[in-house]
Amino acid sequence: MPSLFNKKIDSLKGIGLKSVGLYNKLKIQTVGDLLCFYPRTYEDWSNPVKITDLKAGEISVIKAKLSGPVIENKIPGGMLISKARVFDDSGFIVITFFNNKFIKTMLHENVDYFFYGKVTQNLGHFEMINPMFSAKENEVGIRPIYNQTAGLNSRQIAKAMKEALLLLPLTINEPLPDWILEKYKLCPLSYAIENIHFPRDFEALKLAKERLIFEELLTLSLGLSQLKDKNREETSLQMTTDFSEEFIKLLPFELTEAQSDAINDCINDMMNRKTPMNRLIQGDVGSGKTVVAAAACYSAVKNGWQAAFMAPTEILANQHFQSLSKILIGSGVKIELLTGSVPAKQKKQIKELLKNGEIDFIIGTHALLSDGVEFQNLGLVVTDEQHRFGVAQRAALLSKGNNPHLMVMSATPIPRTLGLIIYGDLDISVINELPPNRKEIETYLVDSSKRTRIFNFMKKHIAAGKQCYIVCPLIEESDIDAASAAVYFEELINNDFKGYNVGLLHGKCKPKEKDEVMNRFQSGEIDVLVTTTVIEVGVDVKNAVIMLIENAERYGLSQLHQLRGRIGRGDEKSYCILISDMQNEETTERLKILCSTSNGFKIADEDLRLRGPGDFFGSRQHGLPQMKIADITDMKSVLTAKEAAEDILEVSKDLSNDEFRGIRALISKLFSGVGDNAFN
């Protein structure tokens, strides 16, 4: 229904210029956006109960008449209370309104009203406080409740929705082919849209939901399959010799068995498959994923290819560059670093060298995705901390080579259903052991009255040559975050840590400052690093043994686990101290999980259970487009959609058949906000 969908919202009756701005706040620009703005929940006005059947504490609807006029009373303090008795053929209750001078003129005797509200018990009789009411029979079905914004409430949105539905042409374009609707017993789109907003009954609502969830997950699944498909064609890049042993000899330590297995998996993929390697290396923080990637890159380079290793932050890219450069000294591998903060002149030079094949191994950030970056012979792409990248970004880097091999690394244990979608076609190697001699990190939960004691504990360790992290109070907006870190830092150097070497590192530091601070911390010059979640991924300083995290309750468990992963990296005992003044039991229970386990998968499960799927990734990008109605952790629906996606791909692998035109449009719409334009 392209024409209707693209009509501007103010073409609807009753929506003027002023409300356009409010609708835009809800990300609604067009009539189509409005129709896809689904209710948050519903109120059931469809089943009035008899007054005698009311139960205190329940939300109910009754159909009743006033037994007399509304009585108004002003109580000391000025509050206006309006009361009326209402009755049906089974009994009466009192309805009470606070501070609403219109009630008296709105409610009349001898009229049947529907009252909707929570029933309370007061001095032996039932009462409804501030119930909603309506006299209109046709308004009392199942009512939609929309997310609202200041100046625009759910009722107004519902009114606009009714207008929009009037415009919905009788026969709108159905994006799904008939045979899919039939096979999966789905209602048509027009029926679904009408009934998701104003359901005829609960059965209709269920059908509508099912259909829309199906469509959204199907679109997601097909969209991802199209992205992945780019990496499924045959590759000419067959590795002839395995050089990983040669790399391993350069390491100052023995690999764990899990690391060796993972390396073998990768080499095997690159030597023996017709299609490119497509592998996820999943291992908890500190399990040593970097050397696994490096071994694969080394072997790729020695086979005459170029390798690219992309990390989500400059700090991390720098660190990988430095540690791998050290290992690779004298190996003949030409390694370079490309991040946003590399000076323009140098960037230009690096790009040239990459293009004519004089750099073998490039480590970098998103900068690797930028336009001028070309390779002569890109054979292997690695992305570190995969959850930080969008699927589209992964695809963008791949497209810089001719069907190169792909390896993605992640420390975030994701729930199985999510993995099925995000990593659906990836082979997985799990690194399920930590390097030997790691001491368990001791984690404690305390309140801020203990802060001074903890500072003293830190000083004792600093005196013994150790280093510490302090993760600052988290404030949502990154700007304020930086400010709060700066304030905290000032406070610290003027008081508790006067005379110590304290460093400050946050997201708003200039790249050069970041480098400098990280280098000073790495070299042991800085005793205490005051920081924010920028430190969350990958940073590896073995001598840091204490991490103090302020207002720990503001983080998700998985995120805290990642943060904590910055310590306990050497063979010294490490301590993580969570400070929280939140007294409620739920918070304490949640944080105590961290004190009792260091198993990332277990923590992720708990996180998902306690916070729900929506919050699982926090504000971080997981690379998937935002769902409007589906829940990507809803296993059953995901599997159904996946099955349907397979049906469709069997008919047309690239969806080029005309019957899939509607689906193609859905895909580009859904993915339009994700990363770069992987579908153009």
Question: What strand order describes the sheet that includes 427-431?
Answer: 335-338, 361-364, 306-310, 378-383, 405-410, 278-283, 427-431
Closest CA to 63 of 113, 108, 107, 109: 113
Beta carbon of residue 239, minimum distance to Mg ion (angstroms, whole number): 24
Beta carbon of residue 400, minimum distance to ligand ADP (angstroms, whole number): 24
- CB of 388 or CB of 642, closer to ligand ADP: 388
Beta carbon of residue 530, minimum distance to ligand ADP (angstroms, whole number): 22
Buried b (16+ CB within 10 A) or exposed e, 323-333: ebeebbeebeb
- Is residue 255 a contact residue for ligand ADP (CB under 6 A)? yes
Report the alpha-carbon distance of residue 632 to residue 618 in Å, rounded: 15
At a CB cut-off of 8 Å and minimum separation 6, what does 23 contact? Answer: 9, 15, 29, 34, 152
Report the alpha-carbon distance of residue 143 to residue 197 in Å, rounded: 8
At a CB cut-off of 8 Å and minimum separation 6, what does 390 contact? Answer: 621, 623, 624, 674, 675
- CB of 282 or CB of 532, closer to ligand ADP: 282
Stretch that binds Mg ion, among 238-246, 366-374, 451-459, 535-543 (CB under 5 A): 535-543
- Is residue 253 a contact residue for ligand ADP (CB under 6 A)? yes
Report the alpha-carbon distance of residue 369 to residue 374 in Å, rounded: 9
Pattern of binders to ligand ADP over 288-317, x per CB under 6 A?
A: xxxx--------------------------
Report the alpha-carbon distance of residue 573 to residue 434 in Å, rounded: 15
Beta carbon of residue 537, minimum distance to Mg ion (angstroms, whole number): 7
- CB of 63 or CB of 566, closer to Mg ion: 566
- Is residue 565 a contact residue for Mg ion (CB under 5 A)? no
- Is residue 600 a contact residue for ligand ADP (CB under 6 A)? no
- Is residue 390 a contact residue for Mg ion (CB under 5 A)? no
Of positions 285, 342, 421, 593, contacts ligand ADP by CB under 6 A: 285
Q: Judge contact between 628 and 138, C-beta under 8 A.
A: no
Report the alpha-carbon distance of residue 110 to residue 132 in Å, rounded: 18
287 interface partner picked from Mg ion, ligand ADP, none, CB below 5 to 8 A per type: ligand ADP
DSSP 152: B
Pattern of binders to ligand ADP over 419-438, x per CB under 6 A?
A: ----------------x---
Stretch that binds ligand ADP, among 210-218, 248-256, 398-406, 413-421 (CB under 6 A): 248-256
403 interface partner picked from Mg ion, ligand ADP, none, CB below 5 to 8 A per type: none
The CB-nearest residue to ligand ADP is 288
- Is residue 569 a contact residue for ligand ADP (CB under 6 A)? yes
Two tokens, residue 127: 């009462």
Residue type at position 207: L
- CB of 461 or CB of 569, closer to ligand ADP: 569
Q: Which helix (H) or strand (E) holds 86?
A: strand 80-87
- Is residue 538 a contact residue for Mg ion (CB under 5 A)? yes
- Is residue 179 a contact residue for ligand ADP (CB under 6 A)? no
Q: Which residue in this structure is represented by tokens 């799990």?
A: 430
- Is residue 545 a contact residue for ligand ADP (CB under 6 A)? no
Report the alpha-carbon distance of residue 317 to residue 327 in Å, rounded: 15
Of positions 88, 427, 540, 634, contacts ligand ADP by CB under 6 A: 540
Report the alpha-carbon distance of residue 590 to residue 138 in Å, rounded: 47
- CB of 288 or CB of 419, closer to ligand ADP: 288
Report the alpha-carbon distance of residue 319 to residue 539 in Å, rounded: 7
Stretch that binds Mg ion, among 241-249, 400-408, 469-477, 532-540 (CB under 5 A): 532-540
Count of residues of this chain found to bind Mg ion when the rule CB under 5 A is applied: 1
The CB-nearest residue to Mg ion is 538
Report the alpha-carbon distance of residue 278 to residue 169 in Å, rounded: 45
Interface with Mg ion (CB under 5 A): 538
Applying CB under 6 A, which residues contact ligand ADP? 253-256, 259, 283, 285-291, 411, 435, 538, 540, 542, 569
